[in-house]
């Protein structure tokens, strides 16, 4: 069951992260003139992602329910999980949030006012941040529990803003290169604004990551001598490479894009770098999926 749960967690976490980032992307990446088309493009990308969140969330719930109760899935088992466990309560909240997000995205694609963009971000933030309510955050109680929950939620939101924003930026670059060439300038502007947002995302990830590590690792020795710690070290290495690649884009590729008269070659370079950055991000999500089923270093 564990490998199946890892895959389900990976898909669900990845889709939830991307959905939040895509919902947020139009709010910071474009000017007022381009924001309507940017919102429509992001909504078109987000709808299938939101369906993936819903389906993978249901499959994850079924997997956890059967493994915890050691019984075949039934309405009785589902009812027991939903009413008697914190995982069930969070799953029920997230089910409602996912259905609401799908409804808002469908409405947006039918040409509804852009004022639905902010409610969509709020719903997607709840959908992503509520993942902090399950897993290793439950090993504490009282004030420590509250701090760990808040820190983990901020960590998830920072990761979602970055990872989902990369998907939005990647889509815009592809459109600029192989679709509407008039979007070249929008891609330049979006890349610059994404880099600015990235500062906030990275700062949030570093600060919340240190707090989470204190709860789950607590010492350098545990970081080296436990399976959890070694996986976390691998995650940190990939994160450092990802930050380095993002810095290269911000200080070298994006300025070249802004000052270039022939944007095609520079956009292709940015496309490759963003795709590499995105791949590293998903590799980190896979590691997080593994960490979720491994005993934390502090309790090993």
DSSP 203-232: HHHHHHHHHHHHHHT-SHHHHHHSHHHHHH
* C-beta atoms surrounding 32 within 10 Å: 6
pTM as predicted: 0.92
Q: Specify the DSSP class assigned to residue 122.
A: H
Tokens describing residue 246: 């993002």
Please list, residue by residue across 96-123, b when 16 or more beta carbons sit within 10 angstroms of its beta carbon and e when fewer do: ebbebbbebbeebeeeeeeebbeebbeb
Question: For each of the chain's 300 residues, which pLDDT tens digit applies?
Answer: 478 888 999 999 999 999 999 999 988 886 543 455 556 777 888 999 999 999 999 999 988 888 776 666 777 777 878 888 888 899 999 999 999 999 999 988 887 655 778 899 999 999 999 999 988 888 878 888 999 999 999 999 999 999 999 999 998 888 888 765 555 667 788 888 998 999 999 999 999 999 999 999 988 888 899 999 999 999 999 999 999 999 999 999 988 888 877 778 888 999 999 999 999 999 999 999 999 888 888 876
**Rounded distance, CA 253 to CA 200, Å?**
20
Tokens describing residue 49: 């992602």
Residue 239's region, left for phi above 0, alpha for psi from -120 to 50, else beta, is: alpha
């Amino acid at each position: 069951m564990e490998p199946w749960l890892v895959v389900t967690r990976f898909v669900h976490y990845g889709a939830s992260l991307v959905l939040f980032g895509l919902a947020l992307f139009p709010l910071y990446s474009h000017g007022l003139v381009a924001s309507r088309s940017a919102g429509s493009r992001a909504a078109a990308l987000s709808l299938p992602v939101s369906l993936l969140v819903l389906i993978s969330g249901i499959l994850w719930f079924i997997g956890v329910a059967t493994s915890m109760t050691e019984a075949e899935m039934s309405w009785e088992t589902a009812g027991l999980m939903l009413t008697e466990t914190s995982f069930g309560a969070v799953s029920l909240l997230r089910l409602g949030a996912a259905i609401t997000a799908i409804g808002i995205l469908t409405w947006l694609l039918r040409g509804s006012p852009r004022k639905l963009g902010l409610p969509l971000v709020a719903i997607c933030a709840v959908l992503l941040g509520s993942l902090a309510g399950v897993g290793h955050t439950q090993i504490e109680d009282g004030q420590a529990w509250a701090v760990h929950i808040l820190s983990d939620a901020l960590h998830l939101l920072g990761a979602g803003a970055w990872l989902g924003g990369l998907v939005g930026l990647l889509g815009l670059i592809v459109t600029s290169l192989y679709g509407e060439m008039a979007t070249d300038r929008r891609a330049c502007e979006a890349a610059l604004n994404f880099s600015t947002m990235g500062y906030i995302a990275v700062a949030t990830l570093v600060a919340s990551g240190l707090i989470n590590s204190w709860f789950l690792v607590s010492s350098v020795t545990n970081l080296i001598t436990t399976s959890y710690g070694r996986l976390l070290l691998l995650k940190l290495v990939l994160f450092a490479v990802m930050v380095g690649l993002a810095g290269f884009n911000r200080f070298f590729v994006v300025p070249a894009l802004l000052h270039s008269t022939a944007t095609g070659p520079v956009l292709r370079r940015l496309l490759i770098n963003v795709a590499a950055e995105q791949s590293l991000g998903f590799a980190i999500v896979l590691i997080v999926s593994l960490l979720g089923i491994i005993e934390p270093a502090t309790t090993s």
